């Protein structure tokens, strides 16, 4: 027979569908605790946990609840670190692999919402919607011509990454009459074409696109990927969009590219620090549309994420391999630990 799978989460917001699904499983014990106020309390609450379901928002939780070597050493029964979202910034996946701990995320659960938000940012910058809204609320005596916008139809969008979100952006962009290029080193040219884009190099995406939109994960290969040199290589008057993760693009370099007039503007949902400080130079640019990492914050997306994450944990309780395993190389060691920790003699 098997011991119950103990799942622990802290009380940062999660859709109720997560708790409801797990509590319907007789072989799973869910514990929900108030956010701990020290590393010691964190380790005490997680000491017997098999699964730690942790917020993906690194700036909304204290660093001592991040899944690091230190936390893993204090939690010898931990089998899985499960992210609330598609990102997993608070989880050190390499440390988990060394410890035999599976890492799962909920990629795809918010893809529709983030893709729609991406097009919303593009429309807002191109048609100067947010800029017009701000001026109309505080000024009079300006002409409509000072807010002349640009149509998206007939332009080119270049996607950096064409996974769950990027492929949906490609479909929406085509509906608006845009041509779509994509750079994704993880996919073959044929696969990129099957996802609705023409395969391209990063350099060509930057040089040829009227809109450059990021849809790649933040990892060692993408941190600082879009730097001052990359912005300089973009077409004059192009628009930069990111609904991916802060840290992939250089915010200071982007501000310089916009204030110099090289780029027409940007739509940004993600930041190095979230929320960014009020005196952030990008927030003073009229042609920047800024949102607070809300692209995936819709009722539909939050429920999808909750159900996907709960189902993955249910599959783990059954001894199955989850479909969104971030560190697949951990599986042999994880399987041995699973048997040792959860399987008991009859």
Q: Are residues 179 and 94 in the same domain?
A: no
Last residue of a domain, one of 247, 271, 290: 290
Compute the average pLDDT of residues 285-291.
Answer: 97
* Residue numbers of the domain that contains 231: 111-290
CB contact set of 102 (below 8 Å; sequence gap of 6+): 79, 80, 81, 96, 316, 322, 325, 327, 330, 331, 334
Contact 129, 155 (CB under 8 A): no
Q: Exposure string (b/e) for 149-182, b if CB count within 10 Å is 16 or more?
A: eeebeebbbbbbbbbbbbbbbbebbeebebbbbb
In the chain, what percentage of residues exceed pLDDT 70? 99
For residue 33, the number of C-alpha atoms closer than 13 Å in the C-beta half-sphere is: 19
Contact 87, 56 (CB under 8 A): yes
Q: Could you read off the pLDDT of 97-132 as tens digits, one per residue?
A: 999 999 999 989 999 999 999 999 999 999 999 999
Model confidence at 343: pLDDT above 80: no
Q: Are residues 125 and 91 in the same domain?
A: no
The phi-psi region of residue 291 (left if phi > 0; otherwise alpha if psi is between -120 and 50; otherwise beta) is beta
Instruction: Please count the structural domains in the chain.
Output: 2
Q: Where are the beta strands (DSSP E) in 140-221?
A: 156-160, 179-183, 198-199, 211-214
Q: Are residues 83 and 126 in the same domain?
A: no
What pLDDT shows up at residue 13? 82
188: domain CATH number is 3.40.50.720
Distances (CA, A) of 27 to 1, 166, 316, 341, 344: 11, 37, 11, 14, 14
Compute the average pLDDT of residues 224-249.
Answer: 97
Q: Are residues 85 and 124 in the same domain?
A: no
Beta 156-160 vs 179-183: how paired, if at all? Answer: parallel
What pLDDT shows up at residue 345? 47
| Burial zone of 336 (CB within 10 Å; 0-12 exposed, 13-18 middle, 19+ buried) | exposed
Q: Are residues 135 and 277 in the same domain?
A: yes
Q: Tell me the DSSP string of 242-302.
A: E-S-TTSB-HHHHHHHHHTTSS-EEEES--SSSSPPTT-GGGG-TTEEE--S-TT-SHHHH
- CA dihedral 63→291→298→222, nearest 10 degrees, is -60
Model confidence at 346: pLDDT above 80: no
**pLDDT-derived band of residue 344, with 50, 70 and 90 as boundaries?**
low
Q: Are residues 45 and 127 in the same domain?
A: no
Q: Are residues 308 and 277 in the same domain?
A: no
Q: Are residues 239 and 278 in the same domain?
A: yes
Q: Which residues are catalytic?
A: 245, 274, 293
Q: Are residues 241 and 152 in the same domain?
A: yes
Beta 51-54 vs 102-104: how paired, if at all? Answer: unpaired
Q: Could you read off the pLDDT of 246-270 as tens digits, one per residue?
A: 999 999 999 999 999 999 999 999 9
What pLDDT shows up at residue 56? 87
Contact 330, 97 (CB under 8 A): yes
Q: Are residues 115 and 137 in the same domain?
A: yes
Helix%, strand%, coil% for the chain, nearest 5 = 40, 15, 40
Compute the average pLDDT of residues 210-226.
Answer: 94
Model confidence at 11: pLDDT above 70: yes
Model confidence at 1: pLDDT above 60: no
- Which residue(s) pair with 214 in the sheet? 160, 242
Q: Are residues 103 and 157 in the same domain?
A: no
Q: Are residues 122 and 255 in the same domain?
A: yes
């Amino acid at each position: 027979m098997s011991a119950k799978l103990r799942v622990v989460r802290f009380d940062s917001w999660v859709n109720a569908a997560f708790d409801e699904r797990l509590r319907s499983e007789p072989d799973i014990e869910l514990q929900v605790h108030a956010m701990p106020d020290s590393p010691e309390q964190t380790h005490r609450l997680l000491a017997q946990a098999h699964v730690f379901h942790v917020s993906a928002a690194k700036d909304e939780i204290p660093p001592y609840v991040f899944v690091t070597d230190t936390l893993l050493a204090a939690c010898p029964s931990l089998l899985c670190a499960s992210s609330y979202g598609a990102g997993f910034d608070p989880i050190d996946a390499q440390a988990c692999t060394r410890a035999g701990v599976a890492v799962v995320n909920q990629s795809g659960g918010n893809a529709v919402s983030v893709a729609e938000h991406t097009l919303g940012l593009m429309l807002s910058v191109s048609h100067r919607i947010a800029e017009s809204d701000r001026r109309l609320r505080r000024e009079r005596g300006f002409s409509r011509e000072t807010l002349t916008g640009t149509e998206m139809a007939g332009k080119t969008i270049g996607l950096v990454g064409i996974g769950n979100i990027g492929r949906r952006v490609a479909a929406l962009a085509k509906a608006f009459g845009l041509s779509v290029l994509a750079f994704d080193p993880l996919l073959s040219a044929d696969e990129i074409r099957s996802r609705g884009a023409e395969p391209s190099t990063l350099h060509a995406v930057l040089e040829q696109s009227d809109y450059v939109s990021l849809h790649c994960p933040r990892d060692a290969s993408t941190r600082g990927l879009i730097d001052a040199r990359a912005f300089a290589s973009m077409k004059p008057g192009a628009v930069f969009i990111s609904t991916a993760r802060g840290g992939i693009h250089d915010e200071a370099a982007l501000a310089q590219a916009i204030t110099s007039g090289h780029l027409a503007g940007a739509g940004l949902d993600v930041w190095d620090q979230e929320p960014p400080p009020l005196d952030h130079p990008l927030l003073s640019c009229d042609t920047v549309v800024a949102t607070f990492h809300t692209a995936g914050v819709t009722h539909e997306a939050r429920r999808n994420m909750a159900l996907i994450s709960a189902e993955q944990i249910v599959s783990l309780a059954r001894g199955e391999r989850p479909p969104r395993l971030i560190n697949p190389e951990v599986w042999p060691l994880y399987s041995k630990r699973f048997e040792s920790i959860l399987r008991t003699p009859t």
